[in-house]
Amino acid sequence: MNKNRFIKQMRFHEGVKNKVYKDHLGIETIGVGRNLVDRGLSDEEVDYLLGNDITIVENELDNGLSWWRDLDEVRQRALADLAFNMGLPRLHGFVKMLDGLQRRDYHAAADELLDSKYAKQVGARSERVAAMIRTGEDSAEF
């Protein structure tokens, strides 16, 4: 079978949707007829999407917080984790935390993170990220 011709055929018959929609049976679907309820995503597809999302977050941080690359590896990942989870616009609202990070006052930055509505919403995740900021060391959990 000519796979390229079949791709064109399926794109024509199924349509292409870049966001989740409900098909004619009410089943959550994405892309070219991908049934998310029955088929879902493979681990490889999940990792591919995650890789793309990480690239987006890195680019957003490069454009929005140019100093973030000067942090050590663990603190870069802590900041990227926050940007991934809440988005850069919301992260920009953490003025005192970001100021602490930029000044390398990691204790103050971690304290500011933990003293937030975000910390109450995500619980243990914020504690792990704050510990990464405070110590520059990875969590033993991952």
Q: What is the CATH number of the domain that holds 66?
A: 1.10.530.40
Whole-number pLDDT of residue 142: 79
If one compares 139 and 51, the residue with the highest pLDDT of the two is: 51
Q: What is the mean pLDDT of residues 29-40?
A: 97
Q: Are residues 67 and 119 in the same domain?
A: yes
Q: Same domain for 53 and 26?
A: no
The residue range of the domain holding 129 is 43-135
DSSP character string of the chain? --HHHHHHHHHHHH--EEEEEE-TTS-EEEETTEETTTT---HHHHHHHHHHHHHHHHHHHHHH-GGGGGS-HHHHHHHHHHHHHH-HHHHTT-HHHHHHHHTT-HHHHHHHHHSSHHHHHHTHHHHHHHHHHHHS---TT-
**pLDDT digits over 44-98, tens only?**
999 999 999 999 999 999 999 999 999 999 999 999 999 999 999 999 999 999 9
pLDDT band at 116 (very low <50, low <70, confident <90, very high): very high
The amino acid that residue 99 corresponds to is: D
Summary mean pLDDT of the chain: 97
Q: Work out the angle at residue 132's Cα, subtended by the Cα atoms of residues 51 and 139, and round it to the nearest 5 degrees.
A: 75
At residue 40's C-alpha, the angle toward residues 81 and 13, to 5°, is 120
| 140 domain-assigned | no
Verify that 13 and 81 share a domain, yes or no. no
| The predicted structure's pLDDT at residue 42 | 97
Do 101 and 31 fall within a single domain? no
